[in-house]
Structure 1
Amino acid sequence: MLRYRHKKTKQEIVFKKFTGQCEVYALVRKIVNIHLPKIYQASFDGEKSLVVEEYINGISVADVLSEGAYSESAAANIMNQLFEVLAVLHSENIVHRDIKPENIMISSDGVVKLIDFSAARIFSRYKSNDTKALGTIGFAAPEQYGIDQSDARTDIYALGILLNILLTGQHPLTYLYPGRYRKIIEKCIETIPDNRYASVFELKKQFNKIKPAA
């Protein structure tokens, strides 16, 4: 990955080159959303892909967590912005598959940006399971290891892990948040996808029934 400043516009951009196709990036390029980086180019030469995208000037959630856990209200702000962008992505059948603190940026104006679609895939009802086990251990849902097909509920699993880490600084397998969001976290991280929330809309509805503490 290379970072570059355009000579004329002075805008900072990022070049990514990787083996394989970039169909997800090509689809994300068509989506205009404040919570996504702008994709300027997504091309495939038959062997490798080149992606040129906006550089996000800000700080990652991982960097913020290095200073301590979030308050409930601050965590709720992050989560609600993620609900918005994931609803858009899922409507286009895009499953991110790598939601984690390192892939969530907070821009200089306070907007949450979901980055890095290298593990993302396009859901197809004609497939029975994922062909590649991609994602990050600790955040990846069981179905990402080839036993089933990833779908929106795969990202919901990661959101549950993320919420617990935002609130405690720890993975739920190490320490499960004891407060009011506990049941939501537990439902998100159910091993069987059918036992999780069916969509981010359903998750958001239940999540926002709880008034976060300051």
Structure 2
Amino acid sequence: MTLEEHYRISFYQPVRQLGDEEHIWLTQHAENGKFYVRKELTDYNRAVYERLQQLDSSWFPHICEIAEEDGKLIVIEEYISGQTLEEYMDQSQTLTMAQTLSVMLDICQALKLLHEQTPPVIHRDIKPSNIILSVDGLWKVIDFNTARYYDASAQRDTTFLGTLEYAAPEQFGDIQTDVRTDIYAMGAMMNYLLTGRNHKKYLYEGPAGNIILKCTRFDPKLRYQSIGEFLQDLRRLPEAEKYVAQDEHIANKAESEGLIRKGKGTGMYRKKSSYYTATQRKEEKKNKHSWTFWLPPGFRTLKLWKMCVGGLFYALALYISITLEVTGSDGSSMTGTALLANRIGCWLLFFVLVLFWFNYGGVHRILPFVRKLQIGWKILGYVVWTCVIFMVIMTCVVLLSS
């Protein structure tokens, strides 16, 4: 690391560790006060990060500083405040076709830019946790720690990296990864978004299922040979028509205003996402007011009519609870601690059941039965867990009353 590099990097002061990764930190610039991410990588490809820095595309985090020290690559990049696709799936379980396409079409644009480089840049770890929805409405690709340039002279990769559920067979075999490796991951991810399941265990049906199947063929020669081919078939799906129309309209307008540099195709001057759906607008609002995620059902969207309905329901439940009269086994009315325990138990029963029924905090994702896709299992799950909640609360009430 040169003195100049050391001086520039010294402006980025550590704030806290991000996640469980010891080598990734949230930092704050000492002068402008903005937040950035600092990574210290031991297994890296500096040329890839330098290329990303040159591209400076809106599809990826902006790379601010790159330096090497003691066998490590230090990267300072833009901090993107938003929700990852994995976090979104934890709450939603599955996406509609329209929601899925809004993600896939954005990521296709990002990969198209990478694959058009000379030589092509292969990400090699496309998965929901590496896709993030920024506040400008774009689904962006992050984490290029495993990315590499395609080497036409190489027979195989020097290291086997990737995530098992989304990694193509060649990432663990005897041939080199190429653009078709990222296409495989895109197909696997698309199936997961639509079904919540691994494509090897359950494949989505219909025209979209055929696209997924072609993406995830074992033999790379049987897959789409470029992101462009994959993108064409996605745009032929009926649900994609409105996104294609929006994309053409915005692209034409941007070009007429001189916002797109002809021939570059980076999309870095894009004012607004072409696939900015209502769901993404909702997520942007959620990201700006992240505290709303922890509000009780009825208040999380901050919509007036929902808050009124929710408020009335909670007020009614509270009124019923505090006016509750309970008689004992001998017919006499309960008083004192026993009555208080029953009233509190009544309120908790109302409140906890509402939290469960409306999937507060994405709790359905971790509970048996209700996390199933089949409607029969879901109904059984609702019945079973409603009974469990009722029995637990009533048991506590009986113990406190005795």
TM superposition score category, shorter chain reference: over 0.9
Q: Name which of structure 1's ranges 30-39 and 43-52 shifts more when overlaid on structure 2.
A: 43-52
- Amino acid in structure 1 at the alignment position of 2:109: E
- Amino acid in structure 1 at the alignment position of 2:81: N
- Alignment partner for residue 116 of structure 2, among 79, 85, 91? 91
Say yes or no: does 1:12 pair with 2:58: no
CA distance in 1, matches of 2:148, 2:133: 24
| Shift in Å, 1:46 | 6.0
Q: Percent identity between the aligned chains?
A: 35
Say yes or no: does 1:189 pair with 2:213: no
Residue 159 of structure 1 corresponds to which residue in structure 2?
A: 186
Q: Which structure has more strand as a fraction of its residues?
A: 1
- Counterpart mapping for 1:53-64 below 5 A: 53-64=77-88
Q: 1:105-139 deviations in whole A, cap 9, x for unaligned?
A: 00123211100011111001111111100011111
Q: 1:146 to 1:29 in 2, by over 3 A?
A: farther
Secondary structure of the equivalent of 2:105? helix
- Amino acid in structure 2 at the alignment position of 1:86: L
Residue 55 of structure 2 corresponds to which residue in structure 1?
A: 31
Q: 1:25 to 1:146 in 2, by over 3 A?
A: farther
- Counterpart mapping for 1:36-75 below 5 A: 36-45=60-69, 47-67=71-91, 68-75=93-100
Secondary structure of the equivalent of 1:40? strand
CA distance in 1, matches of 2:137, 2:54: 24
Q: RMSD in angstroms over aligned alpha carbons?
A: 1.5
Secondary structure of the equivalent of 1:79? helix
Q: Which structure has more helix as a fraction of its residues?
A: 2
| Shift in Å, 1:62 | 0.3
Secondary structure of the equivalent of 1:88? helix
Q: Name which of structure 1's ranges 100-109 and 6-15 shifts more when overlaid on structure 2.
A: 6-15
| Length, aligned pairs only | 214
Q: Give ranges in structure 1 of 5+ residues lacking alignment.
A: none
Tell whether the 8 Å contact from 2:191 to 2:199 is kept in structure 1 after alignment. Answer: yes
Higher relative contact order (CA 8 A, sep 6+): 1
Tell whether the 8 Å contact from 2:56 to 2:63 is kept in structure 1 after alignment. Answer: no
Residue 140 of structure 2 corresponds to which residue in structure 1?
A: 113
- Amino acid in structure 2 at the alignment position of 1:182: G
| Shift in Å, 1:54 | 0.5
Secondary structure of the equivalent of 1:137? coil
CA distance in 1, matches of 2:139, 2:57: 11
Residue 172 of structure 1 corresponds to which residue in structure 2?
A: 199
CA distance in 1, matches of 2:71, 2:28: 27
CA distance in 2, matches of 1:19, 1:32: 24
| Shift in Å, 1:32 | 2.2
| Shift in Å, 1:186 | 0.2
- Please report the TM-score for the alignment, with normalisation by the length of structure 2: 0.52
Residue 151 of structure 2 corresponds to which residue in structure 1?
A: 124
- Amino acid in structure 2 at the alignment position of 1:122: Y
- Please report the TM-score for the alignment, with normalisation by the length of structure 1: 0.96
Secondary structure of the equivalent of 1:130? coil
- Amino acid in structure 2 at the alignment position of 1:186: L
Tell whether the 8 Å contact from 1:132 to 1:146 is kept in structure 2 after alignment. Answer: no
Tell whether the 8 Å contact from 1:13 to 1:54 is kept in structure 2 after alignment. Answer: yes
| Shift in Å, 1:31 | 0.9
